[in-house]
DNA sequence: AGTACCACCTGACGGC
DNA sequence: TGCCGTCAGGTGGTAC
């Protein structure tokens, strides 16, 4: 379900479990998740090597191999990582399995296979090729304002546009706009001067909070939209019914009282 | 430039 | 029980 916070938690998980361990074998259960590499080629490149470190950019997690290249993980809507020892614990929808010399395995799990694994030679070039904007947790207020200001689309689709800012998806766009008390359909070009700072501050606050909560909905404060983001959900602030509207094909949840239409 | 729609995939759920 | 439409925290292409 991976947006920036989810992928950051996966990064922490990868770092905690899978660094500096020699890869003994690579098993591709479904090659449709491989983007620019065949199963045999992937195995040849990874076998005998170790993941030394990792980086995240937007919704992409890149693992750096001691052989001098990167393995990029994108998770689509249903991707995740799972580290385990016994093969009986092998999770369902496991698509690629890295097996380490210590007997443990790291699975790339993806039920719907909308994500992909890709071998990347140059990280900067990869980000450029994907036309990704600055990462939502690295961008500063000045660049953020520059990127958002004057856009003709809605603020929600602007926040979700990976070419402008990388990392925000449907859930966190809604959360950020809820805290900013801005209707998701508001045209970015109609935002007022103070709105950019407000949205920027809430973007940082919400993403960092989600990471601290390990994206566990149970651990989110009740004042957040996420625990209430479902049909029948009530706004934790006004206690009124939440409403939904379609924006660029995705369902936006918002509180019509707190987030008045502009 | 921005949006609408479709495609890629699987599975859960509700209605008939 | 089975079939069907709809929906789901993503993204890329294409047609307006």
**DSSP output for chain A:** --SHHHHHHHHHHHHHHHBT-BEEEEEES-GGGBSS--HHHHHHHHTT-BEEEEEEETTEEEEEETTS-EEEEE-TTTEEEEEESSGGGPPTTEEEEEEETTS-EEEEEESS--SEEEEES-HHHHHHHTT--EETTT--HHHHHHHHTT-SSBHHHHHH-TTTEES--HHHHHHHHHHHT--TT-BGGG--HHHHHHHHHHHHHHHHHHHHTTT-GGGS-TTSSGGG-STT-B-TTT-PBPEEEEETTEEEEE-TTTS---
User: Which bases of strand C sit closer than 7 A to a protein CB?
Assistant: 7-12
Distance A114 CA to C2 C1' (A): 28
pLDDT tens digit sequence for A142-199? 999 999 998 999 999 999 999 999 999 999 999 999 999 999 999 999 999 899 999 9
What mean pLDDT comes out for the span A2-27? 98
Strand C contact with A259 (CB < 7 A): no
Closest nucleotide C1' to the C-alpha of A114: B9
Asked whether residue A170's C-beta has any atom of DNA/RNA strand C within 7 A, the reply is yes
Distances (CA, A) of A185 to A48, A154, A161, A221, A259: 51, 5, 14, 25, 10
- Closest nucleotide C1' to the C-alpha of A150: B1
Predicted confidence band at A248 (pLDDT cuts at 50, 70, 90)? confident
pLDDT at A231: 87
- Å separating the CA of residue A228 from the C1' of nucleotide B3: 29
Question: Is the pTM higher than 0.85?
Answer: yes
Strand C reaches within 7 A of the A169 CB: yes
CA A132 to chain centre: 13
- A248 is near strand B: CB distance < 7 Å: yes
Q: Is the C-beta atom of A112 closer than 7 angstroms to strand B? A: yes
Average pLDDT over residues A206-223: 95
pLDDT in tens, A57-100: 999 999 999 999 999 999 999 999 999 999 999 999 999 999 99
Q: How far is the CA of A248 from the C1' of B4 (A)?
A: 8
Nucleotide minimizing C1' to CA distance for residue A168:
C9
Q: Tens digit of pLDDT for each residue in A44-58?
A: 999 999 999 999 999
User: In this predicted structure, what is the pLDDT of residue A74?
Assistant: 97
């Amino acid at each position: 379900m991976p947006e920036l916070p989810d992928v950051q938690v996966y990064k922490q998980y990868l770092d905690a479990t899978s660094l500096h361990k020699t890869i003994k074998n690579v098993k591709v259960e479904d090659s449709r998740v491989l983007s620019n590499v065949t199963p045999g080629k992937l195995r040849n490149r990874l076998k005998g090597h170790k993941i030394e470190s990792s980086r995240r950019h937007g919704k992409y997690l890149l693992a750096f191999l001691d052989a001098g290249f990167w393995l990029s993980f994108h998770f689509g809507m249903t991707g995740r990582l799972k580290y385990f020892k016994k093969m009986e614990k092998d999770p369902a929808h496991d698509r690629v399995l890295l097996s380490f010399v210590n007997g443990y395995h790291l699975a790339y799990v993806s039920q719907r296979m909308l994500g992909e694994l890709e071998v990347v030679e140059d990280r900067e070039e990869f980000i450029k090729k994907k036309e990704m904007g600055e990462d939502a947790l690295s961008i500063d207020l000045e660049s953020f304002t520059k990127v958002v200001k004057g856009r003709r689309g809605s603020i929600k689709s602007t926040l979700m546009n990976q070419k402008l800012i990388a990392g925000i998806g449907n859930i966190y766009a809604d959360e950020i706009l809820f805290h900013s008390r801005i209707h998701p359909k508001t045209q970015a070009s109609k935002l007022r001067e103070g709105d950019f700072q407000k949205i920027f501050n809430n973007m940082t606050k919400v993403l960092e909070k989600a990471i601290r909560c390990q994206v566990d909905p149970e651990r989110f404060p009740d004042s957040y939209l996420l625990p209430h983001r479902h049909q029948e959900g009530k706004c934790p602030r006004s206690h009124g019914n939440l409403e939904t509207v379609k924006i660029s094909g995705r369902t936006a949840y918002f509180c019509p009282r707190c987030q008045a239409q502009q």
